[in-house]
Structure 1
């Protein structure tokens, strides 16, 4: 099956104007004026989200390569994400912070310059209605299904229900604290260390914050610059955005796999690939990353998927290719710089595999490499103490293991498909095979280092298996093309095309068989329900603990001079002490930088003497929430009047419906003890 072309077919809904025509010069100033004038006007109308959509569309239609509408929108999203990650550095020091008008004008300016210079002769006339290819519609439907899966459990509930769904994702609490702080302080927290010292645990001011800044920018545009002042409101928004990141991740990998497949896989043949890739992520490996709270890694993996796609199948123009590679690499670094271990070799892979097709532009390529490297190294330098330590690679951590029973067959199938003679003659498939080799080699290198150092594998080895399955799923798109002969359109092979009902029937049957196979094999290696079932049925949800946390958080004064510590007994089949109750309480109070030690200390039952001793050693006053009147009385008696200024005791009771109620006044003795 022939698939030598590295570009996708031209967008059927776009018609380029004639170069040098007068209309190009007339349209360019108008387009530039609209881009620069729209942000303040739409801000006055409380429609900043329309400004973001305008900038996205303008970036999408700046490409001169032959791309479909969907390709343009996806690549423009990746381009703008990298741009906003880098623009956040400037936004962190200028006086406007993340205000929508300032960000929009800073983004509109380079787009307007491109319209006036690079694309001044190019007039795009839309032919209505725009008719994307069938494969694009199937891809959009796949992403919509993933969005329905990830958002449905969260849309019909309030803040407490959303917290309950992801309550046990410890890392998600810290990611919320980062997002909330970036939103409130207006930029990267590396530039706001003093302000972030209270809401963030020490060391997290320099954590890679590209995803948090991008989500904060989306929040700013969606809310017209009206930043939520209450932490609970911000938490409700953030949980929805985190589920949206999972959807975007699935969409990015599915789109990348389809791009790796290329024009030889079109029409109904796209459906089985979308179901295989999207189903693998939703049912097996993508959803666990949301459940454990790896929001920033999901964000970085989505950008890595786009980078892999354009490495395997570049866009038609070298300048645009360099711009995309640079922006996506910067986005990966700012979001989760561990993935640079894979992204960096992928850039070299592109330069080697596609060297013949790429025009000789050494000066431009060298300049792009220098600028990209300088920008991508910024998050690494900000966190240099940990990034420069090899010992960080062997630290322990909580991570759900990748299912080997699915990953190994996927790897074998993909590699065998890419080792066939037709694949070896095709630069796209050679690049796909090289991408799998790069991701696998990085994971194996870390595995060998961990085994040599500690005798076993740990956290970061499992983390580096995530880019392995992402890159392998993308390479699968290139590997399956030879076996899709019956479904390939006539224009790709020259053969007679089957009637569309036959194509649709075979595609639906194949997709159903693949989906059923994934459903039956999606359980973890060690057994138990699949991650999709866990999320969909709320098997890891903690409604009683989430209700306790939000109730206590709502009862506290703002700001609260005391840190809060939950020391309550299990209720409703849940134990807030052993779960993440005090961590969530700290991030909702925006004092996690002061209360994180109390979170670790309060994970088990404590006696009155232990409570008093910990309060004596605490550098800040604290309030303990107890549901045992006897323990509360003993603690107050042991503390005595002289210590109550540093140690406050609050009592929690439950009403007849089992809802917690804080019954003690702050700064006083619980009524039951008076």
Structure 2
């Protein structure tokens, strides 16, 4: 028996307000034939007009129209985005081998052909409406999107680098994205080319997010990859901000879907404020600042998967297709998330077994196909994926705010333990999902403590997954507290709007006041990584970014030398220029050759040590120094015989405090501007 806050439309797959009428099965009608023709004819025409981005929008919209489950417009668009993402990750395997690479026309036609075949199997009968709850959800998504992107869209490529300069991992993710974009597919298939641009071992790193962003870039800019690395970096950083915005939007939608039609109208606003505020102010923004672009991408897919595990679609075929696509996308983007995804799929199979037992053969086929597709990136990187020891590996990561996560977790679990909640399949699945992900996090924590005596990198990564699943389950947990929807509708609309707005404001205020780190947590190298600090630019490094881009601009193209900066940190932003040398290497597209110099350059070096390292280097070296005395001494020690192996460049600053590179340094040009 459903609880008091559950109506008949609250069952899995039902819609709160039928914003879109079901597509009708049967023989294709005129609109179906016309849409299929447009899907096949539009990509070549739009490609000739250099409007490939319009092709992408057409494919997205046409995919959204094909769902027969009773869903709203927003639901359809979100589900279509998830489906196309999984499809693109898998299509990337083929694109990495065929002669066209990531050509937008080839990718569009490879997507349009199967989509047109589906279109021709049904009649297109769609009536568009926008329920109030969806409109409010879009309002929250727009606000959080502006929060994520504002510091990046208002500046140039150097400013974007400055905003995320301390995200060391982001430099490697940029090298992956830039290499995928230039070489035309997954780097597992282009190892020889990627050996120069990537540090050894990264050619098999999961590249689903990098491929997706590279495809978006190709559709937006045309077939040609950008030749200038700084331009490519500016695009990538903007896309990384978009990934954060998409992640927040995905969790917002997933929490809204988990709540179901019982949470409609103005009641969506407080939930949106809590979920969106929590992510942008507390936990989501630090992931971007740390450079965890690939994880953010995967967490967005995990949120969509969790929503469908809790509240499946009405049509089993569509449910299976989406679960398969999202699981495949997770594996290609960040396969650590399969640790949480696989148990959640089992929870769906148990709690909602009546829905899929009727189509058992299709479920078995879908499970086998999904397992095979998801295994591809795992097997490609099996050397690391197959080792349990990797779970204890150290790494730089921002600790999750326990003082907010624990109360949120307790509130969600207690809400799902009530008798009324236990009578509802959606909330039983939500409780199971939260408990199983929490148990996995505790298991990794125990393993790390037993192995190393303390928690480390991957424990925090499991807590990120717990945050996402808990926020999604929160949508289901709060519904019984609101009472029956018909009782809430008795209040006048201004009263409901005022209550929702006031509650949302209070929740945001609580989050703002509690966004600080846990007491006793050391954040070495971090200024203020909260959302507020990101908006104020307190984590940015403009002087360091300006120096890196000035050096990059001064280097010849191509450059047979690798560069290493051995300068005192300007403005105190980057001690020993740790991140600076890494960014310099990825901008030069020689990280596969320069990463050893980056590691070596993280400490102060004497002229004798510089000459010794240059002599042992298999690649000629250019060292950037800011001390004329040290530069002169190093050049003297090197002598004429080593000029080919070692070149010295001097960093100076003009009257406006802008870096100027004197290259090559001859020892008699101290006053050159």
Instruction: Tell me the TM-score normalized by structure 2.
Output: 0.96
1:162·1:236 contact (CA, 8 Å) conserved in 2? yes
Partner of 1:513: 506
> What's 2:34 paired with?
30
Change (3 A) 1:10 1:501: closer
Q: Deviations over 1:43-75 (max 9, x none)?
A: 111110000000000111110000000000001
Per the TM alignment, residue 616 of structure 1 is displaced from its structure 2 partner at its CA by 1.0
More divergent stretch after superposition (448-457 vs 402-411): 448-457
C-alpha deviation, 1:303, in angstroms: 0.2
Tell me whether 1:141 sits opposite 2:144 in the alignment.
no
SS of equivalent to 2:354: coil
Match of 1:113 among 90, 105, 117: 117
- Any idea what the Cα deviations from partners look like across 1:527-571, whole Å, max 9, x if unmatched? 785611221111111111100000000110111100001111222
3-state SS in 2 of match to 1:361: helix
How far apart, in 2, do the equivalents of 1:638 and 1:579 lie?
26
Residue 125 of structure 2 is matched in structure 1 by 124
Gaps of at least 5 residues in structure 2 are 521-526
Q: Does 1:69 align with 2:62?
A: no
Structure 1 residues 30 and 670: alpha-carbon distance in aligned structure 2, compared to 1, 3 A threshold: farther
* Partner SS for 1:198: helix
Q: Which one of 498, 503, 507 corresponds to residue 491 of structure 2?
A: 498
Residue among 344, 352, 366 paired with 2:342:
344
The 5 A counterparts of 1:537-556 are 537-556=536-555
Aligned residues between the structures: 660
CA 19–184 in structure 1, closer or farther in 2 if over 3 Å, else same: closer
Residue of structure 1 equivalent to 2:11: 5
CA shift at 1:484, angstroms?
A: 1.7
User: Larger deviation: 144-153 or 252-261?
Assistant: 144-153
User: Which residue pairs with 2:524 in the alignment?
Assistant: none
Distance of 1:576 and 1:673 partners within structure 2: 27
Q: What residue is the counterpart of 2:396 in the other structure?
A: 398
What's the CA shift string for 1:195-248, capped at 9, x where partnerless? 000110010000000000000010000112232110000000001000000000
Determine if the alignment matches structure 1 residue 658 to structure 2 residue 643: no
Report the Cα distance in structure 2 between the residues aligned to 1:670 and 1:354, rounded to whole angstroms.
Answer: 79
User: Does structure 1 conserve the Cα–Cα contact (< 8 Å) formed by 2:93 and 2:185?
Assistant: yes
Distance apart, 1:19 and its partner CA: 5.5
Correspondence for 1:330: 328
Match of 2:454 in 1: 456
Shift of 1:131: 3.0
In 2 relative to 1, CA 396–269 (structure 1 residues): closer, same or farther, beyond 3 Å? same
Kept in 1, the 8 Å contact 2:622–2:648? The answer is yes
Distance 1:337 1:593, change over 3 A: same
Contact 2:149 / 2:238 at 8 angstroms: preserved in 1? yes
| Match of residue 208 from structure 2 | 210
Q: Aligned to 1:577, what secondary structure does the other structure show? A: helix
2:517 corresponds to 1:524: yes
Matched, 1:634 2:597: no
From the superposition, tell whether residues 95 and 10 of structure 1 become closer, same or farther in structure 2 (CA, over 3 Å). farther
Output the CA distance in 2 between the equivalents of 1:18 and 1:83.
24
Residue range with higher mean Cα deviation, 154-163 or 182-191:
154-163
* SS in structure 2 of the partner of residue 572 of structure 1: helix
**Aligned equivalent of 1:92:** 96
Q: Secondary structure at the match of 2:623?
A: strand
Cross-structure match for 2:471? 473
Q: Which deviates more from structure 2 when the two are superposed, residues 54-63 or residues 9-18?
A: 9-18
Q: Is the 8 A contact 2:20 2:129 kept in 1?
A: no
Q: Is the 8 A contact 2:281 2:511 kept in 1?
A: yes
Q: How far, CA to CA, are the matches of 1:367 and 1:571 in structure 2?
A: 59
Q: Shift in Å at residue 614 of structure 1?
A: 0.7
Give 1:150 shift.
1.2
Residue pair 1:12, 1:132 contacting (<8 A) in 2 also: no
> Secondary structure in 2 aligned to 1:197?
helix
Match of 1:367 among 348, 360, 365: 365
Q: Which whole-Å CA distance do the structure 2 matches of 1:161 and 1:90 have between them?
A: 36
Shift of residue 351 of structure 1? 0.6
In 2, distance between residues paired with 1:613 and 1:375? 49
* Structure 2 counterparts to residues 569-608 of structure 1, below 5 A: 569-575=568-574, 577-608=576-607
Supply the distance in 2 between the matched residues of 1:321 and 1:533 (Cα, whole angstroms).
39
Write the mapping of 1:62-461 to structure 2, written as runs, cut at 5 A.
Answer: 62-117=66-121, 119=122, 122-126=123-127, 130-461=128-459
Q: Distance in 2 between matches of 1:194 and 1:123?
A: 48
Q: Say which SS state the counterpart of residue 623 (structure 1) adopts.
A: strand
Residue in 2 aligned with 1:534?
Answer: 533
Confirm or deny: 8 A CA contact 1:6 1:314 kept in the other structure. yes
CA gap 1:669/1:36 in 2 versus in 1, 3 angstroms: farther
